[in-house]
């Protein structure tokens, strides 16, 4: 397969654990995904899922809704969008934190975008022998209530042995410090896996800590003092993340949304942990490009 990345870009990815590719997606691609997500939200009726959405707390039905989302299109609300009476505190389009985790397989618009030949070439350049699209997420980061994403490694949620997961994160709108861009610890992907999020039963999960060293504190008001580096990204930028790279995003308290789409790809030729939270049914396995 012809390369997509230059040798310098491949070395930079292995050195830093992150690579930003401005202009990867066109404005019309980004707007097409945003329009499609808006249609999906139009058709979604939170009132049909009272046991899932009437509380911000974890319950068995919320866990089951999450655990069954790997091959489906499901909606996850911002905790701040659920009022004490269980109703929404803001318009539905702003109340959603993300849609996950099978958009790339269940929706034709996201399927087409996710299976772009340039992405197949890119992950081939990064060494995946049998690329497999394992999950996708549409991230809203809505104005004022878009919640923070705590520092994590994607391999915590999608472990293979050895680690092979790669995050492909697309800025559908400009992502800035003000509206909650991602921040990362470049080079820290070499420090190993810190935790694993595993299934402990049909409908229960647990975070298993492997390395208790805490991540450096992220203070959004003093973030420029380091050690996190902002991944500000103009609309259309692709941010490629190594599965072991610690990254986070701040809350969005600004009046501007920060929509993004992410696909996670791993090497299907190496063992996928049987206790990863995301398990596809044998009759509907995760597929490649
Ligand atoms: O979009 C964000 O704020 C975080 C996304 C993320 O952590 C991921 O795609 O792995």
Nearest CA to ligand 1 atom 6: 248
Ligand 1 pocket (Cβ < 6 Å) reads: 139, 149, 154, 167, 169, 182, 247, 249, 260, 262
* Domains of the chain, earliest start first: 7-213+228-267 (2.60.120.620)
- C-alpha 39 – ligand 1 centre gap (Å): 22
Q: Is the dihedral of CA 275, 149, 183, 22 positive or negative?
A: positive
Percent share of the chain, pLDDT over 90: 84
> Are residues 265 and 134 in contact, defined by beta-carbon separation less than 8 angstroms?
yes
Cβ atoms < 10 Å from Cβ of 117: 11
DSSP codes of every residue in 160-223? BSS---EEEEEESS-B-TTTT-EEE-TTGGGG---EEEEE-SSS-EEEEES--PPPPP--TTSG
- C-alpha 164 – ligand 1 centre gap (Å): 17
Q: 40-98, pLDDT tens digit by residue?
A: 999 999 877 777 777 667 788 888 899 999 999 999 999 888 888 878 889 999 999 99
Residue 23, φ and ψ in degrees, nearest 5:
75, 15
Q: 196-221, pLDDT tens digit by residue?
A: 999 997 778 999 999 999 999 998 88
Cβ atoms < 10 Å from Cβ of 206: 13
| Beta bridge partner(s), residue 145 | none
């Amino acid at each position: 397969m012809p390369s997509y990345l230059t040798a310098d870009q491949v070395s930079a990815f292995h050195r830093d654990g992150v690579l930003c590719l401005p202009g990867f997606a066109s404005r019309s691609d980004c707007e097409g995904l945003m329009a499609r997500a808006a249609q999906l939200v139009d058709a979604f009726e939170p009132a049909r899922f009272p046991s899932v959405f009437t509380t911000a707390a974890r319950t068995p039905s919320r866990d089951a809704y999450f655990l069954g989302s790997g091959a489906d299109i499901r909606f996850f609300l911002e905790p701040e969008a659920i009022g004490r009476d269980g109703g929404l505190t803001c318009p539905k389009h702003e109340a959603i934190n993300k849609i996950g985790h099978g958009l790339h397989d269940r929706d034709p618009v996201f399927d087409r975008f996710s299976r772009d030949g340039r992405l197949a070439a890119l992950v081939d350049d990064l060494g995946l022998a049998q690329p497999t699209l394992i999950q996708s997420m549409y991230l809203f980061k809505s104005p004022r209530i878009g919640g923070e994403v705590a520092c994590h490694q994607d391999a915590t949620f999608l472990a293979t042995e050895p680690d092979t997961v790669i995050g492909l994160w697309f800025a559908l709108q400009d992502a800035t410090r003000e509206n909650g861009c991602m921040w990362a610890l470049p080079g820290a992907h070499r420090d190993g896996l810190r935790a694993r999020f595993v299934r402990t039963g049909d409908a229960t999960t647990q975070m298993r800590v492997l390395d208790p060293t805490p991540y450096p504190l992220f203070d959004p008001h003093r973030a420029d003092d380091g050690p996190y580096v902002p991944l500000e990204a103009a609309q259309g930028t692709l941010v490629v993340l190594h599965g072991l790279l610690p990254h986070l995003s701040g809350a969005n308290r600004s009046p501007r949304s920060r929509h993004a789409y992410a696909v996670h790809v791993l090497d299907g030729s190496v063992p996928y942990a049987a206790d990863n939270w995301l398990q596809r049914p044998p009759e509907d396995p995760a597929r490649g490009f």
